[in-house]
Amino acid sequence: MMRHGRRDGTHAEVRQELRDLGASVADTADVGDDFPDLVVGLAGHDFLVEAKAAKGKLSDGQSEFARTWRGAPVVVLWSRAEAREWLIRTRHALHLAAWHTSQASRTLTPVVVPLVTETAERVDGRHKGVTPRGG
């Protein structure tokens, strides 16, 4: 049975805070069936976000959805300030992960240096460190 849930009091302000900080935000509160309120796109990653009132609790259905979801964990945000903190920390973590990945790939990326035969050191009639073609 598809049920459309009501929006918690912080829904609009959490949604707007995430947008103000540069995230793409799709409001999915009307999807129903305990699907999270927001789909947030940030730095090439997607997050499911449930916006709850300050004293709000997840319903049994929302908890079950979060427990059985096979993607990234569902994020629960209770305030505009918490939304800001989550987005800033998440963006920072994604930036660091991308930086570390780029550093790791640099160590694996071969560097091709063109050989200038006129100035290359010759050893036994060949250029040092260069294997002749076809041989």
pLDDT on residue 7: 74
pLDDT, averaged in runs of 10, over the chain (135 residues): 62 96 95 94 94 91 95 94 95 84 57 56 53 52
126 in a structural domain: no
pLDDT on residue 21: 96
101 in a structural domain: yes
Strands 45-51 and 24-27: unpaired
Q: How many domains does the chain have?
A: 1
pLDDT on residue 18: 97
pLDDT on residue 64: 96
pLDDT on residue 97: 83
What distance lies between CA 109 and its chain's CA centroid?
Answer: 24
Rounded CA-CA distance 21/81 in Å is 12
Contact predicate 43/94, CB 8 Å:
yes
88 in a structural domain: yes
Q: In this structure, how many other beta carbons lie within 10 angstroms of the beta carbon of residue 56?
A: 14
CATH code of the domain containing 93: 3.40.1350.10
pLDDT on residue 2: 46
76 in a structural domain: yes
pLDDT on residue 54: 85
1 in a structural domain: no
Rounded CA-CA distance 7/20 in Å is 20
Q: Which of 119, 21, 14, 129 is nearest to 77 (CA)?
A: 14
129 in a structural domain: no
pLDDT on residue 108: 54
